[in-house]
Amino acid sequence: MLSVTKLLEDIAAGHDSAEAAVARCRAEIAEHDGTLKAFAALAPGNAQVPVAGPLAGIAVGVKDIFDTYDMPTEYGSPIYAGFRPRADAPVVAMARARGAHVIGKTKTTEFAFLNPTDTVNPHDPAHTPGGSSSGSAAAVAAGMIPAAIGTQTGGSVVRPASFCGVAGYKPSFRLMPTGGMKTFAWTLDTTGLFAASARDVALFAARLTGRDLAVDEADAPRRIGLYRAAIDGEASDDMLGAVEKAANAAAKAGATVIEIAEPEELSRARDIHAIIQNYEAAISMGHELAFHADSLSPILRDTLEEGRGILPAEYDDARRIARRARKAATELFNDIDVLLAPSAPGAAPRDLGTTGSALFNKLWTLTGNPCVNVPGLADAAGMPLGVQVIGRFGRDKQTLSAAGWLENLLGN
């Protein structure tokens, strides 16, 4: 895989150039994407490569749920085939302004929901890369690009990052803009980032946003909560073993590891995620359902119809549960620095007809907490497994630093 950190260091030292780094990415895409199918569109071959800026030399893939002025934006749906926005989404404009080269649009599931793309997992093409940010995670994992932008409404950053063996960072809610993105559920949709390692994704986030988010090697977590929930029984033995391995490594390095039982408020909130998501999706996708229903996949069409049947009072009740859950989530961090939990139920399923389960992610999307998938572990068959570091709302630097620290302990 390509390291954002090393690329930027080499360019700063004069050992590489922005143009050469981007050219290598173009060559990798040309050689490998015919099999991987991670890209929906590529930037014009004569597009100028920026040579100045904090991200100069970094080729970035953008999930095809964000608008781009120079490439089609199709949202993973035939309804928008060939659609050409006139302006970039704000996060895309941010990347360009910082000197990144937006090299292409990475494939998304249909409207970032559940209907899979044809993207395959770089570790084994018979396995799903996850979704909905399938192309973003796969392109980074295959070493075609060093960084990518995605989104998460349920588990669409952390889960594909885990399945593909890369770092995925879901920031605190609204830390990064979602304008210019095809909305699905406005209180859940979150812009996220992918890179090879936790250190790389933190540096990418820092250079992209101008915020102090880079990993601080001295900021080791002193107290780690090992999150225990009733859904843990849905995780594979290999995944549970990976979490225990990470917790043991942290304890040996001097951190105090405390088991944290899931509060009832958070368990209830996981159960009402679908109510909020589907109610909002039925409104956000109202035009497509009214005028293009036959062009929607059955799973999306049925979900939107279900969302139409949710009463406003039921939605409001779910929002009240969500507000209580956010308060409960904040209180979890009164005695700990970060939480540790599975990133997914297990390794990527050997099934291209699914994107896997967001069971271990959707709660933290609902509460808005920052989450980082720490890669580097694997199941008995050698498929990637990731563990999830979850931080207090607004403490993104601390969460990223904890993820980088844990990654080093695991030998990555």
Residue 28 lies in a domain: yes
In a domain, 159, yes or no: yes
Rg of the chain over Cα atoms, rounded to whole angstroms, equals 20
> Which domain covers residue 188, as residue numbers?
4-209
Residues 309-364 have pLDDT tens digits of 999 999 999 999 999 999 999 999 999 999 999 999 999 999 999 999 999 999 99
Q: Residue 359 falls within a domain, yes or no?
A: no
pLDDT at 209: 98
Q: Does 401 fall in a domain? A: no
In a domain, 120, yes or no: yes
pLDDT at 42: 98
Active-site annotation holds for 132: yes
Q: Using CA of residue 152, residue 158, residue 160, residue 165, what is the dihedral sign?
A: positive
Signed CA dihedral, 121, 123, 125, 126: sign only: negative
The CATH number given to whatever domain includes residue 44 is 3.90.1300.10
Which listed residue (77, 132, 134, 136) is catalytic? 132
What is the pTM (predicted TM-score) of this model? Answer: 0.98
Q: How far apart are CA 109 and CA 342, in angstroms?
A: 23
- Looking at residue 357, what DSSP letter applies? -
Chain length of the chain? 412
395 inside domain: no
d(CA 188, CA 79): 24
Annotated catalytic residue, options 37, 63, 107, 182: 63
**Is 271 inside a domain boundary?**
no
**Residue matched to tokens 């139409």:** 308
Q: Does the annotation count 170 as an active-site position?
A: no
In the set 77, 133, 136, 156, the catalytic residue is 156
Rounded Cα distance between 315 and 319, Å, is 6
Report phi then psi at 338, rounded to 5: -145, 165
CA dihedral 74, 366, 339, 112 (to 10 degrees): -10
Residues of the chain with pLDDT under 50: none
Burial class (CB in 10 A: 0-12, 13-18, 19+), 245: middle
Question: Residue 182 has what pLDDT?
Answer: 98
Are 164 and 137 in contact by the 8 Å Cβ rule? The answer is yes
Is 63 catalytic? The answer is yes
Our count of domains for the chain comes to: 1
